[in-house]
Amino acid sequence: MSLKKVLFFIMMIAFLVSGNAFSEEGMWQLDRLDGDLLKEMQNLGLKLSGDQIYEPGGKGIAYAIVDLGGGTGSFVSDKGLILTNHHVAFTALQRTSSVESNFIEEGFYAESYDKEIQAPGYEASILISIDDVTDKVLDAAEGLESAERYEAIEDVIKEIVKKEEEGRDVKCRVSGFFGGMKYKLFTYFTMKDVRIVYAPPKSIGNYGGDIDNWMWPRHTGDFSFFRAYVAPDGSSAEYSEDNVPFEPEIHLAMSTKGIEEDDFTMIIGFPGRTMRYRTSHSIRYSQDWMYPLRIRVFGEMIDLFQREAEKNPAVAIKVASFDQMLNNAMKNYQGMLEGFKKAKLLEKKIEEEKQFAEWLSDNDKMHKRYGDVLPSIESLYRKQKSYRDKNFVLRFVGFGNQMMRGSGMLVRWSFEKEKEDLERDSGYMERDIPRLKRGLRTIQMSYDESVDREVLRYFLKMSQELPEDQRVEGFDSLLAAAEGSDIDEKIDNAIDDLYAGTSLGTVEERLRLFELPGEKIRESEDTFIKFALTLEKEKRKLRKLDKEFGGTISALRPELIRALRKWKSDELFYPDANSTIRLTYGTVRGYSPEEALHYDYITSLSGVVAKHTGEVPFNCPEKLIEIKRKGGPEKYMDEYLDDIPVDFLSTCDITGGNSGSPILNGRGEVIGAAFDGNYESISADYQFDEDLTRAISVDSRYILFILDEFSGARALLEEMTIH
């Protein structure tokens, strides 16, 4: 740490207890961008004021950031054009592809509005306001424990959301911070009509594939473009030919000025989840059980999908999104485990908690208030062991098996729709009906019966390996009733019976059932509906246990953070990521993962060509090789490289959900799109390391170069503001 930062750090100690500390580490709330934080950012190169970034009800650049539901984008034109990642757009490409028009492999470009195609299942949301609702939420939970506390918090959140959305064309979400210490209401304008505008071919957008995923150096053009549409009157509307491009008040300019090492950078996006205040019990849960299990299961499911994909090109398209998601997650979990062990994170947490307990024991007042926090958290995780295995099987069986997913949704809905709106579980209220119907439609775009059967067979076999005290009654009953001399034959016959007696393989039947009264859905003779009903009994018990865990932990984690703030008054405390909009900042910088090894901060088109083997995933398009041979246009060249830049590193603190976030220079111009972290820093979700944690972004000059020289997408270049 530089002397300047040390002095500044000391000056800010007084602010730490109140949570006003700052650092390049951390994902900062937009409504907490105070003067001291801005001063530090400006010292590093920020040229904007706080109001130019975010002003309540104002016109800061934060209003150009788009939540794509699991990924981020940004408006880069006044006609609703959204820049995001290729891997964020991947599911849309998969759902709209066919053997004849394979947009995954070939890419896609709409030269005019009328040629843009719907991105099924996608929505685009922009921030309207942020309001603190902590008192309302915590007052409702006062004095309550366990599941009652969870339900009280859920109930008041539903009331807040319903009241705020009533009569308005908005979507609201209440999110907790610091484990439930604070609660904020986020109001968004959501565009339900999102269309694909441009995606490079896979040989550019996913160059290097799973081999290069999470690795540096990278040479992938991980970018794509959507467009958001609204009704002619400007209101949110489902897909319609009558809709018109949304015209945002704020859009970002694309920069061709380039970057240099130590340049200021910032990223604004929707990071999904970090766990930096978790205890040793949470880390042990992940390290010893959750990540190893998911690595094994996801690896076996990948093999399953790939075997089926090899049989038929149409099936390969159907399973492409699953294959991509599972590969990405599996490598992430592998990196997590490696990072845990390399950093000895569990051992460090145990030692830290030992020291914390000693500090508490030296202070009667502190011990009286906080002495039971860690033992209570340990007790919760011990109880979770008694049901976690069957919970895993029941949750993941619906991930790759579309009939289980659809029937489970319909059965759950059949019970929820019979309740008053505010009494329903979150996700099944009146406001959620369009989303639920969309889910029932998009099932079709990933459904293949042969694949579905294999996934169900996999999980039925897995269910038979569960401990005796965690058996799933619904699975055991299904197999007990099936004919067969051994378990494999019983499984095969049970699956045959299920698929012979179902009509859920069509969109029309799923939507027809959805509209029926709850009792009529449950009376259906469809075999999958009947099977889902037997599983719903178990799921209901597990949901109750999850609520007990959630309600108790929501009271304990804030207490732990309060105690840690008192104990470690000289350390940074910022809220973990929770899928709400955040700002992170840093500088352009390489890193050294080990002794005598240093990685530069930027890669080039020469590197792309050097990796070319002609075989997937290093199959650089011949056209791109030819463009490189002739030399790229000067306007896209990087002076340091004397070449076309491709990807670069920064010290910005990001995680999943930030994919597609714009990375900006000090003037708020787009210098790229963030798409990944380096392998050495995957475990930064739990512990940030300033020497190793890096964000990987595709350079805006490479984006513009590919649009211009490779794809000839002149209309998009003319539409954007380019500096």
CB atoms within 10 A of CB 267: 27
23, 86, 87, 699: the active-site residue: 87
Task: Name the amino acid, one letter, at 670.
Answer: V
pLDDT, residue 22, reads 45
pLDDT, residue 5, reads 37
CB distance 648 to 603 below 8 Å: yes
CB distance 219 to 212 below 8 Å: yes
The dihedral over CA atoms of 423, 428, 431, 434, expressed in degrees to the nearest 10, equals -160
Looking at beta carbons, which pairs linking 281-286 to residues 24 or more positions away fall under 8 Å?
Answer: 281/377, 281/378, 281/380, 281/381, 282/377, 282/381, 283/340, 283/345, 283/346, 283/349, 283/686, 284/346, 284/381, 285/381, 285/384, 286/336, 286/340
pLDDT, residue 79, reads 98
pLDDT, residue 431, reads 97
Label each residue of 161-194 as H, E or C: HHHHHCCCCCEEEEEEECCCCEEEEEEEEEECEE
Please choose, from the candidates 249, 228, 225, the residue with its C-alpha nearest in 3D space to the C-alpha of residue 64.
Answer: 249
Q: Provide the 8-state DSSP code for 635.
A: G
Is 86 labeled as catalytic in the residue annotation? no
| Predicted TM-score (pTM) of this structure | 0.94
Is 598 labeled as catalytic in the residue annotation? no
Tokens 């075989």, residue?
615
Distances (CA, A) of 683 to 37, 216, 342, 468: 26, 16, 10, 34
650 SS3 class:
strand
Q: Is the dihedral of CA 348, 351, 355, 361 positive or negative?
A: positive
- H-only helix segments in 516-639: 518-522, 527-567, 605-611, 622-630
652 SS3 class:
coil
Tokens 């990196």, residue?
335
CB distance 651 to 586 below 8 Å: yes
Is 87 labeled as catalytic in the residue annotation? yes
Distances (CA, A) of 316 to 9, 213, 224, 322, 323: 53, 20, 22, 10, 9
First to last CA, the chain: 34
Task: Name the amino acid, one letter, at 456.
Answer: L
Which parts of the chain have pLDDT scores under 70? 1-23, 570
193, 222, 448, 653: the active-site residue: 222
Structure tokens belonging to residue 191: 């565009």
Structure tokens belonging to residue 522: 């449950």
Cα separation of 454 and 451, whole Å?
5
pLDDT, residue 571, reads 74
pLDDT, residue 229, reads 98
Put residue 579 in one of left, alpha, beta given phi > 0 → left and psi -120 to 50 → alpha.
left
pLDDT, residue 428, reads 98
23, 236, 554, 659: the active-site residue: 659
Structure tokens belonging to residue 680: 């050495």
In degrees, rounded to 5, the angle at the alpha carbon of residue 647 between the alpha carbons of residues 646 and 648 is 135
Tokens 């990223």, residue?
267
Structure tokens belonging to residue 464: 């038979």
pLDDT, residue 14, reads 32
